[in-house]
Structure 1
Amino acid sequence: MALNKVIEECPKLEIDTLLGFVFAHNEPSIQLFSSFDFEQWAFFPEVAKLDSEKRDLVILGKKI
């Protein structure tokens, strides 16, 4: 899986923090990040308009 590969490569690249920006209605993506121990670090209500609907943004983070 691509996310697993990204996490594995972080120490070699001296990356110690990863962030994921996901629209809150995209539950499958939030579940995917959560399965890799990402936690919700921020929530921005109604920051975007998609298909004429206001959408919230979730920022997920993980320390490597």
Structure 2
Amino acid sequence: MLAVTDTERFEMRISPELLAAIDSWRLGLPDKPPRATAVKRLIGMSLQGEARKEAKRETKK
């Protein structure tokens, strides 16, 4: 997970379906994080996954 010391405000609009999917995911977690925290975690997980994929692609070259 990324450490955050300084933060900036960021707003976005999402569909009701995506919001429901985020809520379903976050409410299934043991700590039931607020939406903003859940979105930050999902973004961090996605970025880490992409970094791993890129590293594997570089290794195969």
TM-score of Structure 1 vs Structure 2, range by shorter chain: under 0.3
The structure whose residues are more often helix, as a share, is 2
The structure whose residues are more often strand, as a share, is 1
The TM-score, its normalising length taken from structure 1, stands at 0.26
The TM-score, its normalising length taken from structure 2, stands at 0.27
